[in-house]
Structure 1
Amino acid sequence: MRDYYQLKINLPGGRVSPGTLRDLLIAARGCDVRQVRFGARQQLLMTVHYEDTRRLEQELRKLGAFFETQTDRFPNIISSYCGEGVFRSGSWLDAQAYHTVLDSFDFQPGVKINLSDAAQSFTPFFTGNLNFISSPEPHFWYLYVRPKQQNQVYRWRELVYSPEIGKLSAALEATVLAGGEWNDDLVFEQIKKNTPYVAQPVVQELELPSFSLPYYEGFNRYDARTWLGLYRRNEDFPIDFLIDVCSLCMKTRVGELCTTPWKSLVVKGIEDQHREQWSNILGKHNINVRHAASELAWQTEDHHQEGLTLKTHLIRYFEKQDMRTFGLCFGIQTRPKSEVFGSVLIKKRPLLRLGTINFFCVYDIFYTENFNPNSRTLVPFEIGLFRMHLAGQLERLCRRFSNQRSREVLEAAVAENEQQKNEAGKTPSLYECTDCLTVYDSALGDVLGGIAPGVAFGSLPPAWCCPTCDAPKSAFKLVIQPIQTILS
């Protein structure tokens, strides 16, 4: 018999009233639970001793709370509501619009459902099976379907009206869960025939913003008020602290608390006159709210200490090397069927497996296409690494990403300069190392490497490598024009 059970409480859309959360936490504390966590799908998670589990389940039933013990048959509906009014998007999507959609669900979905503002990049777009994304037309949504156990995403032919999302999701659920070959045309025709719903034709393709994870911790101003982001390095939130947070929300008329896919908590609508009371609560419970942005950009699996331990190890290396990771987010997957969100993914796999026991595990590093974490296409970077080699290879990948971004900016500047000058003809090209930005100029050659001036890049021997960082010849990319063009 297991000593502890994992219990999950869904918080639809990642929102919960302070009064409701306070009741749940008091019930948990009465059953000897002292810490809780927030999951990657914005759930409330807790570890309960088996002797206290039945008693806690009884208390939760009295409160009318939906929960699961040791199972995850009903994934939580996640949404970008946590960023509404906090990270400005200019979208029509406001609190009332989210409420309209969430109120349309009169059942517990058995598929993963995401509700996303198309103008934000704080929450993921395509990690669900049914991914609803706001369209330019107010109160209508794009729908992207990802069938169970598949990586392909299919765009629904119509825009879906907000109050109809729950009904359409119920109609699609059985088909999505069935798995197997997905026939987009057949499913669409069957749903249209059997489940009438309000919709509009899609007149323009979805345009998503480039990824940029905002800093989501600490006190931050918006409009005439303040929001507070709460992150815990070990992902554990003391129940006594959260009960005090809920009580102060009720006292100061903060109507909702929001959980995020980054396993943190956001408190919106803090009035200036109450700011000191919030600071006092943080001091009382010794809560730090100023972690480095690079530490916030990681996602690990729920209920799994191994990924969190590895994250801590890698972050310490990043800090020691003073690495730049801006524009990236990282995910650690230590179990084969789990799903994490990130532009850089670290996946653990065994070289040998006997039954349920793994032997000789190694790690693979992938990055998403164009380093966009919402892409479903993974590009292998390094395969079969031992744990001791992970940090160094991640540092190398981060350098490649930064160099790629620098090169894109350089090329854009060159193109703009070319357009402004309206120059004709071609300019000699150079080759640049993507790891350290060393340039190979055929006019100069590589004297120290035994390459005489005048040798074209294509004529270099296959074994030739970068004279600065020893990167292979394949790491060099063509530079459209020499850097001097920008300065001329």
Structure 2
Amino acid sequence: MRDYYTVKVNLPGGIVAPGALQTILTMARSAHVRTVRFGARQQLLMTVHYEDMRFLGKDLKQQSMPYEVNTEQYPNVISSYCGEDVFRAGAWLRESEYHTILDQFDYGPRLKVNLSDFNQSFTPFFTGNLNFITSPEPHFFYLYIRPKQTNTLFRWPELIYTNDVGRLAKAIEEAMLDGGCQTEDEVYKAVMAGQSFITQLATKEIDLPEFSLPYYEGFNRYGQRSWLGLYRRDEQFSVAFLLDVCALCLKTRIGELCVTTWKSLIIKGIEEKDRVAWSYVLGKHNINVRHAANELAWQTEDQNEDGANLKNYIIRFFAKNDTRTFGLCFGIQTRPKSEVFGSVLIRKRPLLQIGQLSLFSLYDIYFTENFNPNSRTYHLFEKGLFKLHLPNQLHRLCQKFNAGRIQEELEPVRQEIEKMEPAYNDAPLVHQCPHCFTVYDEQYGDERQGVPAGTPFGQLPVDYGCSTCDAPKEDMTAVQLVTVG
């Protein structure tokens, strides 16, 4: 008998009401669960001792909350809703459309379903089996199908209407899993044989947007409100902390919490008057929200201590060597066929395999086409590395990426640049936040925080913080603006 079980509760689209999460966490606490995790498919994961499992299972069933134990028969439907309003400015996919589509999944999908806005790069496009991606045509989606356990990707011939997404997903699932259809023609014929859907002809392939991972931690303002991003280095959130989060959400009338594919949590709609209460909860549980951006750009497999430890090992090397990782994200794959999202992929494999026993480990480094993590084409960079040599080779790959990006940016304007010289002499000093790179320029002040133009940095209030992420004044460093003319 196993001592512990892994319990998974799906949170469709990565959205959960504070009251519902509070109920789950209260039951988990009664089952002596002290920490939980969020998975790469925006689900809630917890480890439960076998003696407590029957009580937790009974409580979950009484609340009609579906769950799985040590299985992945029903993958969560994931979505880019977590970035709605705060990371993107898409043309037509809004809160109402997300909820309309998610409500259509009144069954437990057996295939991985991704629902993505094309105008964002915070959540992956193609890690699902059925990947719905917005098209330029309002209320119509591209659909890219990837059969289970393959890297084959093919596009559905038509664009799919919003109100038909769930019904089409179910029909495709039945054709592929129950009917044995795998090829593009087989699936299309089986689905369209007895049903009709509102569609438009898809005349061309989708063009992948450039990847840019936003800084998703800490307090950040949008409009008259703030959102709070919560990341844990060990991927574990204490139940006590999350219960306090749920209670404060209910008290301040925040209706939803968002789980991201980066195993973090985003809380939107925080009123300015409630910022002190949120800061109190963070302080009470000693929650740090000042991690470096390159530490946030990693994905590991769910419930995998080996991957998490390797991530932290490499990050320490990057910090020591001041490695520039902007524009990249990294994935660590320790199990064959596991889904990990990244523009740089680290694959672990045994040096020697004897039955089920793996002796020693080697690592291979791959990077995606154009370093875009949504690409399904991988190129080998280095093969057969020992752990000791892995960080330095990744550092070298980062340098290769940065050199290539600089070259791409310079080439179109090379002749103009040669005629210009940087003007350093009278360049003004500004102060920059090292966490989100926001700049305080005394020439403009900070109107949002009541600091008039012309206020020197040294005369800012002692409690002044970065206007974007609220980092303290002491963290900001003086830098010289370099103008070109």
TM-score, normalised to structure 1, is 0.84
Distance verdict in 2 for CA 1:290–1:417, change over 3 Å: closer
2: CA distance, partners of 1:185 / 1:335: 31
One-letter code aligned to 1:400:
K
SS in 2 for 1:394: helix
Tell me if structure 1 keeps the 8 A contact 2:90–2:118.
Answer: no
Query: Which one-letter code corresponds to 1:271 in the other structure?
Result: E
1:28-77 superposed Cα distances (whole Å, 9 cap, x missing partner):
00010000000000000000111101111111111111100011111100
Residue 337 of structure 1: CA displacement?
Answer: 2.7
User: In 2 relative to 1, CA 151–74 (structure 1 residues): closer, same or farther, beyond 3 Å?
Assistant: same
Match of 1:88 in 2: 88
- 1:139 is displaced (CA, Å) by 1.2
1:184 paired residue number = 184
Is 2:351 the partner of 1:336?
A: no
Matches within 5 A, 1:286-435: 286-414=286-414
Q: Larger radius of gyration, structure 1 or 2?
A: 1
Q: Secondary structure at the match of 1:194?
A: coil
Shift of 1:415: 7.3
Aligned residue number for residue 467 of structure 1 = none
- Quick check: 287-296 or 204-213, which moved more? 204-213
Tell me: CA distance 1:94–1:415, structure 2 relative to 1, closer, same or farther (3 Å): farther
Q: Per-residue deviation at 1:195?
A: 2.1
- The aligned counterpart of 1:150 is 150
- Aligned equivalent of 2:213: 213
Unpaired segments of 5 or more residues in structure 1? 419-486
Q: Output the amino acid matched with 1:257.
A: L
How do residues 266-305 of structure 1 correspond to structure 2 at under 5 angstroms?
266-305=266-305
Gap runs ≥5 in structure 2: 419-483
Q: Deviations over 1:102-155 (max 9, x none)?
A: 011121000000000000000000000000001111111110001112212111
Letter in 2 for 1:54: R
Contact 2:90 2:117 in 1 (8 A): no
* 1:375-424 deviation line (CA, Å, top 9, x unaligned): 11110011000010001100110100000101111212237779xxxxxx
Q: Deviations over 1:290-313 (max 9, x none)?
A: 110000000001011000000010
How much has 1:191 moved relative to structure 2? 1.4
8 Å CA contact 2:38–2:44 kept in 1: the answer is: yes
How much has 1:90 moved relative to structure 2? 3.1
User: How many angstroms apart in 2 are the aligned matches of 1:178 and 1:377?
Assistant: 29
Q: Give the conservation status (yes or no) of the 8 Å contact 2:307–2:332.
A: yes
Question: Which residue is equivalent to 1:54?
Answer: 54
Distance in 1 (alpha carbons) for counterparts of 2:171 and 2:416: 50
The one-letter code sitting in structure 2 at the alignment partner of 1:28 is A
- Equivalent position of 2:22 in the other structure: 22
What SS does structure 2 have at the residue aligned with 1:106? coil
**Aligned equivalent of 2:123:** 123
RMSD: 1.8
Work out whether residues 176 and 187 of structure 2, in 8 Å CA contact, stay in contact via their aligned partners in 1: no
Query: Is residue 330–residue 341 contact of structure 1 (8 Å, CA) maintained in 2?
Result: yes
| Structure-1 separation of matches of 2:310 and 2:168 | 40
Aligned match of 1:193: 193
Contact in 1 for aligned 2:301/2:332 (Cα 8 Å): yes
Q: Is 1:265–2:265 an aligned residue pair?
A: yes
Residue 12 of structure 2 aligns with an amino acid whose one-letter code is P
Aligned partner letter, 2:77: I
What is the alpha-carbon distance in structure 2 between the residues aligned to residue 181 and residue 161 of structure 1?
A: 23
Cα contact 1:171–1:191 (8 A) shared by 2: yes
Q: What letter is aligned with 1:297?
A: A
Q: Is the CA contact 1:149–1:179 (under 8 Å) kept in the aligned structure 2?
A: no
Distance in structure 2 (CA, Å) of the matches to 1:193 and 1:179:
13
Distance across 2 between alignment mates of 1:117 and 1:369: 21
Residues 109 and 170 of structure 1 are in contact (CA less than 8 Å); yes or no, is this contact kept in structure 2? yes
Contact 1:91 1:117 in 2 (8 A): no
Task: Assess, with a 3 A threshold, how the Cα gap between structure 1 residues 317 and 30 changes in structure 2: closer, same or farther.
Answer: same
Name the residue aligned to 1:427. none
Residue identity matched to 1:95: E
Q: Separation in 1 of the partners of 2:13 and 2:256?
A: 12
Shift of 1:187: 2.2
Count matched residues: 420
Rounded to whole Å, the distance in 2 between the matches of 1:293 and 1:401 is 17
SS class of match (2:193): helix
C-alpha distance in structure 2 between counterparts of 1:189 and 1:181, whole Å: 9
Q: Name the structure 2 match of 1:77.
A: 77
